[in-house]
Amino acid sequence: MRIERRVRQCALAFICLLASIELVAHDSEGSWDLSRPDSHAPIGVMGDHSHRTGEWMLSYRFMTMSMDGNRDQKQRITQEDVLVTYPVAPKSMTMQMHMLGAMYAPTDRVTFMAMVPFIDQDMDHETRTGIEFNTATSGIGDVSVSALVNTWDQKRHHVHLNLGLQAPTGSINERGDIPVRADAPLPYPMQVGSGSWSALFGGTYLGQSDHWSWGSQAMFTRRLDENDAQYKLGNQTQFSSWLSRLVSPRWSVAGRLKFNDTDSIRGADARLNVNMVPTADPSLRSGTLWSGSLSVNFKTRSGNRWALEIESPISQDLDGPQLETDLVVTAGWQYAF
Ligand SMILES: [Cu+2]
């Protein structure tokens, strides 16, 4: 069932891509123009573009994700529903991330990219006896290093491979005060790292015409080893396709469709009590999420790029009870030299 669903979703993403190419292919003459505001994907996409020999780029992104209310499969469920089975129910969560990035291209063929995230998150809960409490964690997340390898360039079409490694630099030992216990180990979503080495791999296609640009990216995250707490976060599959319209030489606007699938956790953190709260259950961390976004890219005269993307879920199917995603906003700055 799961494989069938995944194939269907891949097919749909591919059709969206072909439709967008068809729409604009007739005026695709000349070569790829890296200077246009729409030559960069919507700011929520990482590793979307490569650089020319000797070029550096620095970037900063601020992302905030809000989650409010629980879901089981596609259905929304109430706090009371969750509290029938568990003594504690999560109510809402806010995750904020500051992401520093650097890119450098030693040759036209390869661009290296490093990403350093700082995470700040908090979750509100309610107990069966009506007590409300909050837990919060923050710190450096898992740092990644990638190589973007250009594999195909023809006229205004470009393809590169994304090959990366993510290091377990983020903490999996975050603790906090909960009503029954002070300084208790916190459940999986409150940890700031995965604790595992991960392989990041995928590919990106970009196309451009006089007034439009478009692209598609497939990215896979595979957890390579079990962490020190004897679990492995779920593997992730992500597809994303976007279409941008150049409004002026400085501005572009874009729409993007994204699909994300997360597998459940393998193994379990023995410090957690599975029966206490759904977030401590390793089998309740998986699900699929389709979302759509609108974004704007702006490039100043001096070459600074500013961008904003607002992303909202279209449908989510979660192995729950699990908090649903409500809104993701990403703002960013990029500068190449
Ligand atoms: Cu760059």
Q: DSSP states of 188-257 as a string? A: GGG-S--SS-EEEEEEEEEEE-SSEEEEEEEEEEEE-S--TTSEEPPPEEEEEEEEEEE-SSSEEEEEEE
Based on DSSP, count helices (H) and strands (E) in the chain, helices before strands.
2, 17
Please name the residue ranges forming H helices in 73-167. Answer: 79-85
Residue 1: its pLDDT value, please? 46
Ligand 1 geometric centre to CA of 127 (Å): 46
Question: In the predicted model, what is the mean pLDDT of residues 209-226?
Answer: 96
What is the pLDDT confidence band of residue 76, given thresholds at 50, 70 and 90?
Answer: very high
Res 2: pLDDT = 57
Do 172 and 185 form a contact (C-beta atoms < 8 A)? no
Tell me, in angstroms, the distance from the centre of ligand 1 to residue 271's CA: 41
> How far apart are the CA of 66 and the centre of ligand 1, in A?
27
State in Å: Cα 57 to ligand 1 middle: 5
Average pLDDT rounded to a whole number, residues 57-69:
97
Distance from residue 205's CA to the centre of ligand 1 (Å): 15
Evaluate whether 48 touches 41 at the Cβ level (below 8 Å). Answer: yes
- Asked if pLDDT for residue 26 goes beyond 60, the answer is no
d(CA 77, CA 317): 13
Q: List, for residues 249-295, the tens digit of each pLDDT value.
A: 999 999 999 999 999 999 999 999 999 999 999 999 999 999 999 99
Residue 93 burial (CB < 10 Å; 0-12/13-18/19+)?
buried
- Please give the average per-residue pLDDT across 40-51, as a whole number: 96
CATH superfamily of 2-336: monomeric porin ompg (2.40.160.40)
Instruction: Decide: 274 and 311 in contact? Cβ < 8 Å.
Output: no
pLDDT at 180: 83
SS3 50: coil
Which whole number is the average pLDDT over 123-139? 95
- Residue 217 φ/ψ, nearest 5 degrees: -140, 135
**d(C-alpha 37, C-alpha 2), whole Å:** 38
Question: H or E segment at 61?
Answer: strand 56-73
Q: Tell whether pTM > 0.75.
A: yes
Average pLDDT in the chain: 92
Q: 181 CA distance to ligand 1 centroid (A)? A: 46
Q: Which residue has the tokens 């000797």?
A: 54
- Residue 262 CA to ligand 1 centre (angstroms): 27
**How long a stretch of residues is the chain?**
337
Q: Which residues of 113-143 are buried (b: 16+ CB within 10 A; e: fewer)?
A: bebbbbbebbbebbbeeeeeeebebebebbb
**For residues 160 and 203, is the Cβ–Cβ distance under 8 A?**
yes
Angle at 159 between CA 153 and CA 161, to 5 degrees: 130
- What does the alpha-carbon distance between residue 169 and residue 181 come to, in Å, rounded to a whole number? 27
Map out the domains of the chain as residue ranges: 2-336
Give the chain's end-to-end CA distance (angstroms, integer). Answer: 49
Ligand 1 centroid – CA 302 distance (Å):
16
Q: Where is pLDDT greater, at 26 or 57?
A: 57
- DSSP for 268-320, please give it: --TTS-TTT-GGG-GGGS-EEEEEEEEEEEEE-TTS-EEEEEEEEEEEEEEEE
- Measured in Å, residue 10 CA sits from the centre of ligand 1 at 27
Residue with tokens 């909050």: 134
Question: What is each CA distance from 204 to 35, 50, 153, 214, in whole angstroms?
Answer: 18, 10, 12, 11
Between the CA of 275 and the centroid of ligand 1 the distance, in Å, is 45
Least confident segment among 17-26, 44-53, 79-88, 306-315:
17-26
What distance in angstroms lies between residue 103's CA and the mean position of ligand 1's atoms? 5
Give CA–CA dist 319/82, Å, rounded.
Answer: 13
Give 151-201 pLDDT, tens digit per residue: 998 889 999 999 999 999 999 999 999 988 899 999 999 999 999 999 999
Ligand 1 mean position, distance from CA 332 (Å): 12
> Binning pLDDT at 50, 70 and 90, where does residue 30 land?
confident
Q: What is the mean pLDDT of residues 36-56?
A: 96
**Is the predicted pLDDT of residue 20 greater than 80, yes or no?**
no
Positive or negative, the CA dihedral 250, 255, 257, 260 is positive
pLDDT of residue 5 exceeding 70: no
